[in-house]
Chains A and B, each alone.
Chain A
């Protein structure tokens, strides 16, 4: 027998999943992800076994390689991009808006900001700030199109953002041309925007880290702290501000939010803009800290990874951080698998398994918790623990 009718006023499972609803109590909150990871580890090991590899040594190899200093730097850099992307997605998810267009938003933002940064020379830190603000503006405005279409024409944001991704791709291809915003790189068939001058770049974080006693090779993104700041701001806004409250209740119950005085239309547009503005930041660590230009080689597809990472991280700033690190670790160590004759693509399967297990375990734990809470309330009332009476006695 199912209990679905009893909880008919609850959001359906898929919505609960997308909005990152999960258990509320401390124990299930910690227990659920651990359980999910243990289960997905078991499945993964079974999978490795099936492909003919020794699972223990394969995973051992991944861990060994993943903890080398070079790998740690790469993992941190990848995780920074994943993190920003997932937060951008999560902002929408928290109010039930599925911003599938993060990908187009960050690429267009990075491209236009790179062109601006290459054209304008300003003393530090104004050059950097100009590029970052421009990227946030472009991302926000591009996302706003989907929000405005939704509130004025009733177009589903899923459809419009997917289409805006395609339009962004076309627009970038048009603008990234030596007739327009880009120049050809001699000796290759790459085209790129003009390089951002020295004064407009952000140096690596290694110097700061070594002053803390952590010496790492290579270049850790100088803008890694931006991701942390974004995470903290996201957490504070969601949990401690009126705007965050409006956003959360709009996600949990749009009808109740509207009756409470939240303007649904305004929330949709504002949330899309916020989501797009954070999406604009995704390309910044790479642009200002490593490539200094937007070229055909600029990392693509981060917006889609962000959706998975946000799902895995349950739309929670801390959860997303762990999820981003895990995904970055898996991506980084996929090469090792080839040494034990496992195709590296198996990592994609592993990532899928992790997300599915987490989503399923969380939903099950959440339902179990709702039922047990209802029982607990009934039994506590039956035994006379009643707040209403305590105050009057």
Chain B
């Protein structure tokens, strides 16, 4: 349709953050009435790009055109005004309000100064029917399932007049049937002439729902508007990963028969009594890396937090080197030799306002060389920080700068260096290479291999399936809080693992 201007055109978008370039010269054209998929690895810059399109961040360079007109988006309100709506990965709904109230919240139709519920109800009913988004307007949101909540989010965006919908990893929280329903909804939206921008790193989903596919890697678009009929998931994976990436792999096995960590029939409940980790049993030997594959939100965070003592177990045991540590405090576990690379380095791994040497003490503030008795040993801590900076190649001009001044990769290297200090016996590594550059990724894999050879037991969690498969001696699949399969990392492919994670196949072992 050459006469029709594209719904969205991004040209030369560049966005820099201190120390990193999140987006570099991105060019993307999205035609009206298509489902356009944007794929890329975690940390490739998809989210930043979407935040730019939704007005949450402003690009340093480049231009945005909506329906052929150049626009400048200074806030989400601007974007909504131009008909761009965003469905966030984590829902933003008020649980104690009804569907109707949630949908109109902030955009209430008014009549004589009062909220016109009748008009709102009529419009919602009309929209539900037209787009096949079935929800009960008077149901309380807290009673809805995940898939229904997502439909409410979509309705909310449509209610505000969106013609372009951005869906950020919409399937990450859904079970397979819900994914099918969502895709059905997306097709209806497209049939009604709406444009959908679908962000995902799950290739099979992308291929099944998209009309056009663009791939983003290390902050830039490496392929745009691919036709799903002409591209294979293998080719997409190559584009996403890039051929120059180092491959994660283990050499000869170093697994011993000495059990370092034993989890037995572990169950963790939410405050409302729903199990998030259910009856999980797991053993990790010295010199072994055990990988845990699962879609985000299937209990892996709670599992590692229970091993760290941040969440308490509701049933079952955790044994460390034969000792029952189920009731130990986090500090006692750390002192006993459990190291922890947390999922979210900004929230759990670092104190951003603190200097590098203060961050080196974090989690090790009862151990030498950081302290002597009750006193902080600044000199010892600083000396050891310098050692970590040099051994782990943390790029910084000094150790007195705050952690916030470092780039993400260098922050992560500091964390890895810190957690490898003091000869840990067990390492809990959650997404150890998430969002960091290729060089740092290869380096971190090498540290893991070395520590494994020296007898370290590792529990590895990662959303990067290549990393999981390549770096694990044993690989378990976690689904809805249960370990549902053990797969052989030497034989399994990322595709097979991916479908095991969603529960699509019963048996992959």
Query: Taking the complex as formed, is A185 at the interface, i.e. its CB lies under 8 A from any CB of chain B?
Result: no
* Residues B406 and A263 in contact, CB atoms below 8 Å apart: no
Give the Cβ gap from A207 to chain B, nearest Cβ, in Å: 37
* Cα(A145)–Cα(B395), bound, Å: 47
* Residues A259 and B342 in contact, CB atoms below 8 Å apart: yes
* Residues A252 and B18 in contact, CB atoms below 8 Å apart: no
Query: Taking the complex as formed, is A261 at the interface, i.e. its CB lies under 8 A from any CB of chain B?
Result: yes
Which residues 3-23 in A have Cβ within 8 Å of B in the complex? 5-7, 9-11, 21
Give the Cβ gap from B415 to chain A, nearest Cβ, in Å: 11
* Residues A391 and B348 in contact, CB atoms below 8 Å apart: no
By a CB distance below 8 angstroms, the chain B residues around A34 are none
Q: Mark A335-378, 1 if CB is under 8 A from B, else 0.
A: 00000000000000000000000000000000000110111111
Give the Cβ gap from A277 to chain B, nearest Cβ, in Å: 18
Query: Taking the complex as formed, is A242 at the interface, i.e. its CB lies under 8 A from any CB of chain B?
Result: yes
Which residues 344-403 in B have Cβ within 8 Å of A in the complex? 346-354, 358, 361-366, 371, 374-376, 378, 386, 389-390, 392-399, 401-402
By a CB distance below 8 angstroms, the chain B residues around A190 are none
* Cα(A374)–Cα(B401), bound, Å: 9
Partner-binding segment picked from A65-73, A243-251, A291-299, A316-324: A243-251
Partner-binding segment picked from B162-170, B172-180, B329-337, B469-477: B329-337
Known: A9-B347, A241-B375. A21 touches B393 (CB 8 A): no
Q: For residue A381, which residue of chain B has the nearest CB?
A: B395
* Residues B402 and A373 in contact, CB atoms below 8 Å apart: yes
* Cα(A386)–Cα(B351), bound, Å: 22
* Cα(A377)–Cα(B396), bound, Å: 7
Partner of B394, one of A240, A253, A260, A388: A388
Known: A252-B354, A259-B349. A243 touches B374 (CB 8 A): yes
* Residues B386 and A245 in contact, CB atoms below 8 Å apart: no
Partner of B405, one of A374, A388, A390: A374
* Residues B390 and A391 in contact, CB atoms below 8 Å apart: yes
By a CB distance below 8 angstroms, the chain B residues around A259 are 308, 310, 330, 340, 342, 348-349, 363
Q: For residue A253, which residue of chain B has the nearest CB?
A: B351
By a CB distance below 8 angstroms, the chain B residues around A388 are 389-390, 392-396
Query: Taking the complex as formed, is B56 at the interface, i.e. its CB lies under 8 A from any CB of chain A?
Result: yes
Give the Cβ gap from A288 to chain B, nearest Cβ, in Å: 31
Query: Taking the complex as formed, is B58 at the interface, i.e. its CB lies under 8 A from any CB of chain A?
Result: yes
By a CB distance below 8 angstroms, the chain A residues around B354 are 248-249, 252
* Residues B331 and A261 in contact, CB atoms below 8 Å apart: yes
Query: Taking the complex as formed, is A255 at the interface, i.e. its CB lies under 8 A from any CB of chain B?
Result: yes
* Residues A370 and B402 in contact, CB atoms below 8 Å apart: yes
Q: DSSP class of A's interface residues: helix, strand, loop or mixed?
A: helix
Give the Cβ gap from B122 to chain A, nearest Cβ, in Å: 38
* Residues A263 and B348 in contact, CB atoms below 8 Å apart: no
* Cα(A11)–Cα(B330), bound, Å: 24
* Residues A387 and B397 in contact, CB atoms below 8 Å apart: yes
Query: Taking the complex as formed, is B499 at the interface, i.e. its CB lies under 8 A from any CB of chain A?
Result: no
Known: A260-B363, A375-B18. A242 touches B371 (CB 8 A): yes
Give the Cβ gap from A20 to chain B, nearest Cβ, in Å: 11
Query: Taking the complex as formed, is A49 at the interface, i.e. its CB lies under 8 A from any CB of chain B?
Result: no
* Cα(A24)–Cα(B374), bound, Å: 25
* Cα(A311)–Cα(B340), bound, Å: 36
Query: Taking the complex as formed, is A262 at the interface, i.e. its CB lies under 8 A from any CB of chain B?
Result: yes
* Residues B362 and A249 in contact, CB atoms below 8 Å apart: yes
Query: Taking the complex as formed, is A152 at the interface, i.e. its CB lies under 8 A from any CB of chain B?
Result: no
Give the Cβ gap from B246 to chain A, nearest Cβ, in Å: 20
Known: A241-B376, A374-B18, A374-B404. A387 touches B386 (CB 8 A): yes
* Residues A256 and B405 in contact, CB atoms below 8 Å apart: no
By a CB distance below 8 angstroms, the chain B residues around A390 are 390
* Residues B347 and A5 in contact, CB atoms below 8 Å apart: no
* Residues B390 and A256 in contact, CB atoms below 8 Å apart: no
Query: Taking the complex as formed, is A211 at the interface, i.e. its CB lies under 8 A from any CB of chain B?
Result: no
* Cα(A248)–Cα(B359), bound, Å: 12
* Residues B396 and A386 in contact, CB atoms below 8 Å apart: yes
Query: Taking the complex as formed, is A64 at the interface, i.e. its CB lies under 8 A from any CB of chain B?
Result: no
By a CB distance below 8 angstroms, the chain B residues around A5 are 51, 56-57
* Residues A242 and B375 in contact, CB atoms below 8 Å apart: yes
Query: Please, how many residues of chain B have a CB less than 8 angstroms from a CB on the other chain?
Result: 56
By a CB distance below 8 angstroms, the chain A residues around B349 are 256, 259
Query: Taking the complex as formed, is A258 at the interface, i.e. its CB lies under 8 A from any CB of chain B?
Result: yes
Give the Cβ gap from B47 to chain A, nearest Cβ, in Å: 12
Query: Taking the complex as formed, is A1 at the interface, i.e. its CB lies under 8 A from any CB of chain B?
Result: yes
Query: Taking the complex as formed, is A215 at the interface, i.e. its CB lies under 8 A from any CB of chain B?
Result: no
By a CB distance below 8 angstroms, the chain B residues around A373 are 401-402, 404-405
Which residues 470-487 in B have Cβ within 8 Å of A in the complex? none
Instruction: Point out which of A11, A21, A370, A376 has the most chain B C-beta atoms below 10 A from its C-beta.
Output: A370
* Residues B397 and A385 in contact, CB atoms below 8 Å apart: yes
Partner of A242, one of B17, B19, B363, B365: B365
* Residues A246 and B404 in contact, CB atoms below 8 Å apart: no
Query: Taking the complex as formed, is A210 at the interface, i.e. its CB lies under 8 A from any CB of chain B?
Result: no
Partner of B19, one of A21, A249, A378, A391: A378
Q: For residue B385, which residue of chain A has the nearest CB?
A: A387
* Residues B394 and A263 in contact, CB atoms below 8 Å apart: no
Query: Taking the complex as formed, is A392 at the interface, i.e. its CB lies under 8 A from any CB of chain B?
Result: yes
Q: For residue B340, which residue of chain A has the nearest CB?
A: A259
By a CB distance below 8 angstroms, the chain B residues around A248 are 354
* Cα(A375)–Cα(B406), bound, Å: 10
* Residues B396 and A381 in contact, CB atoms below 8 Å apart: yes
* Cα(A7)–Cα(B308), bound, Å: 28
Query: Taking the complex as formed, is A380 at the interface, i.e. its CB lies under 8 A from any CB of chain B?
Result: yes
* Cα(A391)–Cα(B396), bound, Å: 12
Give the Cβ gap from B494 to chain A, nearest Cβ, in Å: 30
* Residues A387 and B310 in contact, CB atoms below 8 Å apart: no
Which residues 254-299 in A have Cβ within 8 Å of B in the complex? 255-263
Partner of B352, one of A9, A258, A376: A9
* Cα(A376)–Cα(B346), bound, Å: 21
Give the Cβ gap from B83 to chain A, nearest Cβ, in Å: 23
By a CB distance below 8 angstroms, the chain A residues around B378 are 240
Q: For residue A377, which residue of chain B has the nearest CB?
A: B405
By a CB distance below 8 angstroms, the chain B residues around A257 are 351
* Residues B397 and A9 in contact, CB atoms below 8 Å apart: no
Known: A259-B330, A259-B363, A261-B363. A21 touches B353 (CB 8 A): yes
By a CB distance below 8 angstroms, the chain B residues around A243 are 374
Instruction: Point out which of B358, B396, B406 has the most chain A C-beta atoms below 10 A from its C-beta.
Output: B396
* Cα(A179)–Cα(B364), bound, Å: 56
Give the Cβ gap from A285 to chain B, nearest Cβ, in Å: 29
* Cα(A371)–Cα(B405), bound, Å: 8
* Residues B376 and A260 in contact, CB atoms below 8 Å apart: no
By a CB distance below 8 angstroms, the chain A residues around B18 are 6, 371, 374-375, 377-378
Q: Mark B292-315, 1 if CB is under 8 A from A, else 0.
A: 000000000000000010100000
By a CB distance below 8 angstroms, the chain A residues around B374 are 241-243
Give 7 closest A-B pairs by Cβ, nearest first. A261-B331, A374-B18, A391-B390, A9-B346, A260-B363, A380-B397, A259-B348
Knowing that A371-B18, A373-B401, A387-B386 touch, tell me 13 more A-B residue pairs with CB under 8 angstroms.
Answer: A1-B58, A7-B404, A9-B404, A246-B365, A256-B348, A256-B350, A259-B340, A260-B362, A261-B335, A370-B402, A386-B395, A386-B396, A387-B389
The 25 sampled A-B contact pairs (Cβ below 8 Å) are: A5-B51, A9-B346, A9-B404, A242-B365, A242-B375, A248-B354, A252-B351, A252-B353, A252-B354, A253-B350, A253-B351, A253-B352, A259-B363, A261-B335, A261-B363, A261-B366, A376-B405, A377-B18, A377-B397, A380-B397, A387-B389, A388-B390, A391-B386, A391-B390, A392-B390
